[in-house]
């Protein structure tokens, strides 16, 4: 039996105290198995972002148990969380978040620098990752010299270069036009199918969620629907 990559049990997250207390998550349970492509949907304030932050080991739950690759995350300190992110997680953001005035390859190399990979090896790995996303000829272009779609590809390459177990994408097509969005989503589907990469993607666009195999729908801090897109989105 394969072990789930992500396993949430009765996860609660509250911000603030007393009268100003905000319940972002109120008892969420789900598992993500290796090789899945999951879309996370919900209106703003539904808790989907909070949930992704917890899954991405950027935040810890107030209550409940979160296991990432079998590891109890809520007992880890900042340093240990950073180690999990460094070795097993890849992040893609809505606004690309590349380091300005720094070449594409250098941006992609960054996680490897923190991982302590030697310089020569880094360059080769970065070139490989950029080849996978179709930017083999743009290694030294700065973000400002690339289109939005190309920047997002660099960001995906940066997330891929450490060969993570889970890719987390937060509204990856939110800043892109329809055509480019389709390209990026197709790239993610391709990575999922040909490389078996597990992906969780937050989106508010049903068109984007349709690319996933499974959709989680959040409302008011609760997981209200969990199923294939054709079922949840209909």
Q: Does 53 bind other proteins (CB under 8 A)?
A: yes
Interacting stretch for other proteins, rule CB under 8 A, among 18-26, 113-121, 171-179, 197-205?
113-121
Q: Does 141 bind other proteins (CB under 8 A)?
A: no
CB-based contact 59:53 (threshold 8 Å): yes
Q: Does 162 bind other proteins (CB under 8 A)?
A: yes
DSSP string, 27-91: EEEEEE-TT-EEEEE--TTSSHHHHHHHHTTSS--SEEEEEETTEEGGG--HHHHHHHHHHHEEE
Rounded to an integer, what distance in angstroms lies between the CA atom of residue 211 and that of residue 199? 11
Q: Does 110 bind other proteins (CB under 8 A)?
A: yes
- Of 215, 221, 220, whose CA–CA distance to 234 is shortest? 215
The site that binds other proteins (CB under 8 A) totals a number of residues, namely 31
Q: Does 85 bind other proteins (CB under 8 A)?
A: yes
- Of 121, 129, 116, whose CA–CA distance to 163 is shortest? 129
- For the bound state, the minimum distance from the C-beta of residue 103 to other proteins, rounded and expressed in Å, comes to 10
Q: Does 20 bind other proteins (CB under 8 A)?
A: no
Q: CB-based contacts of 62: which residues, under 8 Å, 6+ apart?
A: 12, 13, 14
Locate 56 and state its tokens: 């991405």
Question: Please, what's the largest Cα pairwise distance for the chain?
Answer: 55
Distance of CA 85 to the CA centre of its chain: 11
Of 13, 153, 158, 214, the one binding other proteins by CB under 8 A: 158
Of 12, 115, 165, 204, the one binding other proteins by CB under 8 A: 115
Interacting stretch for other proteins, rule CB under 8 A, among 99-107, 130-138, 146-154, 212-220?
99-107
Which strand (E) or helix (H) includes residue 174? none
- For the bound state, the minimum distance from the C-beta of residue 228 to other proteins, rounded and expressed in Å, comes to 30
Q: Which is nearer to other proteins, 31 or 86 (CB)?
A: 86
Q: Does 46 bind other proteins (CB under 8 A)?
A: no
Of 22, 63, 71, 99, the one binding other proteins by CB under 8 A: 99
HEC states along 55-71?
HCCCCCCCEEEEEECCE
Of 21, 44, 70, 119, the one binding other proteins by CB under 8 A: 119
Q: Does 149 bind other proteins (CB under 8 A)?
A: no
Which residues of the chain form contacts with other proteins (CB under 8 A)? 53, 56, 58-59, 78-79, 82-83, 85-87, 89-91, 93, 97, 99-102, 106, 110-111, 113-116, 119, 158-159, 162
């Amino acid at each position: 039996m394969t072990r789930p990559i992500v396993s949430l049990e009765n996860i609660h997250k509250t911000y603030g105290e007393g009268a100003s207390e905000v319940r972002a998550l109120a008892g969420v349970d789900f598992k993500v198995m290796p090789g899945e492509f999951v879309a996370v949907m919900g209106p703003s304030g539904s808790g989907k972002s909070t949930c992704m932050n917890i899954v991405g080991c950027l935040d810890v739950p107030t209550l409940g148990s979160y296991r990432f690759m079998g590891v109890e995350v809520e007992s880890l300190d900042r340093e240990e969380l950073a180690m999990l992110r460094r070795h097993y997680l890849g992040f893609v953001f809505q606004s690309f978040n590349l380091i300005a005035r720094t070449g594409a390859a250098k941006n992609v190399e960054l996680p490897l620098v923190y991982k302590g990979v030697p310089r020569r090896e880094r360059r080769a790995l970065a070139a490989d990752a950029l080849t996978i996303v179709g930017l083999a000829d743009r290694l030294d272009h700065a973000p400002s010299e690339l289109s939005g779609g190309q920047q997002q590809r660099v960001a995906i390459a940066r997330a891929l270069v450490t060969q993570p177990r889970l890719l987390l994408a937060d509204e990856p097509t939110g800043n892109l036009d329809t055509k480019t969005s389709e390209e990026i989503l197709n790239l993610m589907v391709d990575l999922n199918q040909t490389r078996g990469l597990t992906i969780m993607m937050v989106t508010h666009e049903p068109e984007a969620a349709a690319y996933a195999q499974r959709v989680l729908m959040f409302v008011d801090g609760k997981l209200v629907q969990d199923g294939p897109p054709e079922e949840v989105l209909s």
